[in-house]
A and B are shown apart, each in its own frame.
Chain A
């Protein structure tokens, strides 16, 4: 696979009278390969949008090398602009223009056939409302319009900054389906989002940024695996005896009012066999797997609690310490 986005050593500092010198991005690296649906995560102010804007030539980088579809950005961005669709944060549109007119103007400016306008309006679910003034649109509809504007060019690379902003649950699902269908059609998608569950569902790769620096990157499964502490939640008929037995077997046990969290469990059957042999009967044995949210919060230092591994597909149930010393933070 070839890299469609390459960022190396990106650095950007803003100078303002009020807040002085602010390092927004500090030697950041990122690679997005062709065909990926790549999640770009980071807390507010971590440098996500600055990175995307620098990549698209909207912000001047102080240092670093960037390339889009093999062409240096921003110097040779014009060569590939027709193959890159992008929305950066929530773009504003003229309120008294209709969606159709807004897209029509962009299509003409970019030399795209105007017939494409109807196609993308249908693609983002705005058919039927395309002749309404944008002023009357909800935030979600404006977001769809923004995505439609990015899709107009039939891009090979789609860069979406917070595309789910303002969308209701149904809208988020539609957006997810849209991204998936685009990925299936061979479009490389780079998406930044705060909705981590969505990223986990749709992205195969992820890059996490915090305080302008790269903190994790790779396949979603690999990033999550690095944080798997092999924990299980245990409910037993005699919790005190169970805890004693498990500790004696060399496992870490954290007591909770109605359950135990047992760490260092490579094989779940170890717990059931150990307790069963001693006549302690299990009421529940649930593997706890870290999800992207807990990993994200831990890596970006935005968690108010220690890392919260989650039951796979379920809510947080336990609190344990995660050792992230191996991660470049």
Chain B
């Protein structure tokens, strides 16, 4: 317990952590202030106009779908609809009933912040920042300590390497978790208030909150995994820069370079070899990909869209496996390493 408290104090007192928190508050403040400055409560006229436009848009979608179905059933021809005679379309693609969302009034309100509409992108931004925060703080926390002799000092007091490294990692995850929780509450709370006072809340029903909470929960898992990964990479490389180097090298060599090579070589379903796919799939719940090779040789007129998915389950397994392996390696190496 004493060690946890000491580590918590060390982490709290670190300049880098303080700087990142200031950046978080700044990014937060700028986003909120900009949103507040560019939003107003919609007047009854604006609201009525937006609702009309939304209704028109929905009707337009329904009409397009009905015409498509009629064309499929031979009740209408392309010429009657003013389309190219050879034009074809899969009507299921434009079925309003199968769309993720239909146009709503908020889509047609200019200069009005609608919380229900903006919450998800705002949350993605917060998660991205917290992932960066966790990774950098995790890496610098152990990297600087290994580099400065702080770990050696600690081991002279507690000559148990697993305990020392485990306490550091535990404290890091605890602190990043609490910071993320507080930041999320403050961030979303602020924008909810902006929506109430200077915009409109939008359709914030139970389903909305459930969906937002699910993304938030997955985002927090990602933040903790990124923190642990940064910590492990810096512990393995004995330096903060090692973690940054690993990320930069991976991004350039694999995500860009290897992706390009796989595209040139036409590697089927190459997305499964890229970590970014699993990150995206985990955060959004599912990643849809298209395999062009899957439909080769399929006869004309046969339904084949070649789509395949990475779902959140396998994505979590990959992310947990990678982080677990890195953390495990960091502990094994640290236990055996000569601290010189």
Contacts and interface: CB of A to CB of B under 8 A. Distances in A.
Interface of A: 14, 49-50, 53, 56-60, 74, 77-78, 81, 84, 86, 88, 91-94, 96-97, 101, 105-106, 108-111, 149-150, 153
A86 B155 CA distance: 11
A81 B13 contact: no
Nearest to B160: A78
B157 interface: yes
Given A58-B338, A59-B338, A60-B338, A109 B149 contact: no
B328 interface: no
Contacts of A74: 159
B148 A93 contact: yes
B339 interface: yes
B288 to A, nearest CB: 46
Contacts, number: 79
B156 to A, nearest CB: 5
B6 A91 contact: no
A109 B13 contact: no
Contacts of A108: 2, 5-6, 9
Nearest to B152: A58
A78 B150 CA distance: 18
Given A91-B153, A111-B2, A57 B338 contact: no
A293 to B, nearest CB: 28
B252 interface: no
Q: 10 nearest interchain CB pairs?
A: A109-B6, A92-B148, A77-B159, A110-B157, A92-B149, A58-B339, A108-B6, A59-B338, A91-B149, A57-B159
Contacts of B338: 14, 53, 58-60
A81 B158 contact: yes
B3 interface: yes
Nearest to A110: B157
Nearest to B7: A109
B157 A109 contact: yes
Interface in B27-71: none
Contacts of B157: 81, 106, 109-110, 153
Nearest to A12: B338
Contact of B336 (A60, A84, A91, A149): A60
A111 B3 CA distance: 8
Interface in B125-150: 144, 148-150
Residue among B9, B155, B159 with most chain A CB within 10 A = B159
A57 B161 CA distance: 10
Interface in B1-24: 2-3, 5-7, 9-10, 13-15
A5 to B, nearest CB: 15
Contacts of B5: 108
Contacts of B3: 109
B264 interface: no
B6 A86 contact: no
B282 to A, nearest CB: 36
Nearest to B148: A92
Contacts of A14: 338
B154 interface: yes
A2 to B, nearest CB: 21
A93 B2 CA distance: 20
A91 B152 contact: yes
A34 B274 CA distance: 61
Contacts of A57: 155, 159
Nearest to B161: A57
Contacts of A50: 340
